[in-house]
Amino acid sequence: MSRTIAIIQARLGSSRLKAKLARKLGGKSLLEWVVRRMTDCQQLDGVVVATGDQPQDHRLAALVPPDVAVFVGSETDVLGRFVAAAEQFDADSIVRVCADNPFIDPALVDRLVTTARQQPHFDYISYCLQNGRPVILSPVGVFAEWTSTEALKRANAEVTSAADREHVTRYIYSHPEKFRVRLIPAPAALDRDDLRLTIDLEEDLAHAEAIYEALGPEGLDWQRIAGLLDHQPALRARMAHLNRAHAKV
């Protein structure tokens, strides 16, 4: 059977929220939250934190639980970093995870890996919104992306733009004529413009703390979070405002 690992993309620097991966949620750093959410997955063969080679990134190792490996690669060439990590850990495919998504959902990740094993001809599998936009471009913050290592290597050989080398999977999902791409419709309860669970701003962290306090550490699956926010119109309004103000292009 093919070997699939999660690679958590992490760096300590942040332009909007300083050292955000070291910030605490429920007594744990944001990075530890993401790591533990991934180790809760049932379909992964391993979890790796891939960080840059700058001095500030070396401090990340102290935030990573000792049972999880840390890979150090290029700070700017993130695509090359991912390819090198996949090769070092002998992965046939990887799940790319953003370290600023503490509510990333293990069940949604497991569905990606299961789908890939059932349909091995695909190069890239993730979720999309109703408008067809890949969820990686949204601030929902509970999703990940699956891609084959071979597709990553092909992209690594072809990509020349700095932007595509920084945004690991963009070249792959943006070129369906070159790669076999499958986008699974996101659950309807998550396909909305007033949902924001990624951590990019101080206010995002405050919202995450409110969700954590309401649901507790064992109630943070996407269904419970979506259900909670259904009854929090003021919080959803703030999330919608932040989404409009900081929309990705």
Predicted structure pTM score: 0.95
Mean pLDDT for 9-20 is 80
Contact 5, 109 (CB under 8 A): no
**Is 68 a domain residue?**
yes
SS3 category, 239: helix
Buried b (16+ CB within 10 A) or exposed e, 190-212: bbbebbbbbbbbeebbebbeebb
- d(C-alpha 114, C-alpha 110), whole Å: 6
The lowest-confidence range among 8-12, 115-119, 198-202 is 8-12
Tens digit of each residue's pLDDT (9 = 90 or more) over 97-119? 999 999 999 999 999 999 999 99
Q: How far apart are CA 51 and CA 99, in angstroms?
A: 10
- Looking at this protein, which amino acid is placed at residue 102? P
Mean pLDDT of the chain: 94
Domain count, the chain: 1
Q: How far apart are CA 128 and CA 241, in angstroms?
A: 21
Write out the H or E segment, with its range, that includes residue 136.
none
60 — pLDDT class (breaks 50, 70, 90): confident
Query: Is 168 contained in some domain?
Result: yes
Segment 54-82 shows an average pLDDT of 91
Q: Tell me, what CATH number does 139's domain have?
A: 3.90.550.10
Look up the domain containing 98 and give its range.
4-189
**pLDDT for the residue numbered 249:** 52
